[in-house]
Amino acid sequence: MSKYITTPIYYVNGEAHIGHAYTTFIADSMARYERLKGENTYFLTGTDEHGQKIEESAQKNGKDTQAFADEISATFKNLWDEFEISYDKFIRTTDAEHKIGVQKAFEKMYEKGDIYKDFYEGHYCVSCETFFPETQLVDGEFCPDCGRTTNVVKEESYFFKLSNYEDKLLKHYEQNPEFIMPKSRANEVINFVKGGLRDLSVTRTSFSWGVHMPASINDDKHVMYVWLDALLNYITALGYGQDEKLMNFWPATTQFVGKDILRFHAIYWPAFLMSLDLPLPKTIGAHGWWTRDGEKMSKSKGNVVAPKEVADAYGYENLRYFMLREVPFGQDGDFSQRALIDRMNSELSNDLGNLLNRIIGMSGKYSDFEIDSIDVEKYHSKELNQMNEVLDSLDNYMETLQTHRYLEELWRLFAIGNSAITEYEPWAKMKQDKKDEALATVALVANILAKAVVMLSPIMPKTADKVAATLKFEINNESYKKLVCDKKLLDIFLIEKIDPLFPRIEEPLMAEAPAQEPNKPVNDEEPQEVEEDNLIEIGQFFETSLKVGTVVEGEAVPKSSKLLKLQVDLGEDKPRQIIAGIKKSYSVEDLIGTQVCVVANLKPAKLMGMLSEGMLLAAKDDDGLCLVRPEKSKKAGTPIG
In this structure, are residues 164 and 183 in contact, taking their beta carbons and an 8 Å threshold? no
DSSP string of 339-361, one letter each residue: HHHHHIIIIIIIIIIHHHHHHHH
How many whole angstroms separate alpha carbon 316 and alpha carbon 308?
8
- Is 143 annotated as a binding-site member? yes
In this structure, are residues 232 and 275 in contact, taking their beta carbons and an 8 Å threshold? no
How many whole angstroms separate alpha carbon 81 and alpha carbon 524?
31
Q: Is 520 exposed, middle or buried, given 0-12, 13-18 or 19+ CB atoms closer than 10 A?
A: exposed
CA 204 vs. chain centroid, Å, equals 33
Spatial CB neighbours of 510, under 8 Å, sequence gap ≥ 6 = 309, 310, 313, 337
- Show the 3-state SS of 87-142: CCEEEECCCHHHHHHHHHHHHHHHHHCCEEEEEEEEEEECCCCEEECHHHCECCCE
Q: 47 pairs with which residues across the strands? A: 10, 92
SS3 (DSSP) at 503: coil
Q: 123 pairs with which residues across the strands? A: 132, 152
SS3 (DSSP) at 299: coil
- Is 146 annotated as a binding-site member? yes
In this structure, are residues 586 and 556 in contact, taking their beta carbons and an 8 Å threshold? no
Q: 119 pairs with which residues across the strands? A: 156
- Show the 3-state SS of 524-588: CCCECCCCCCCCCCHHHHHCCCEEEEEEEEEEECCCCCCCEEEEEECCCCCCEEEEECCCCCCCH
Residue 641, CB-side half-sphere exposure with 13 Å CA sphere: 17
How many residues appear in the chain?
641
* Residues tagged in the binding site annotation: 125, 128, 143, 146
Binding residue numbers for Zn(2+):
125, 128, 143, 146
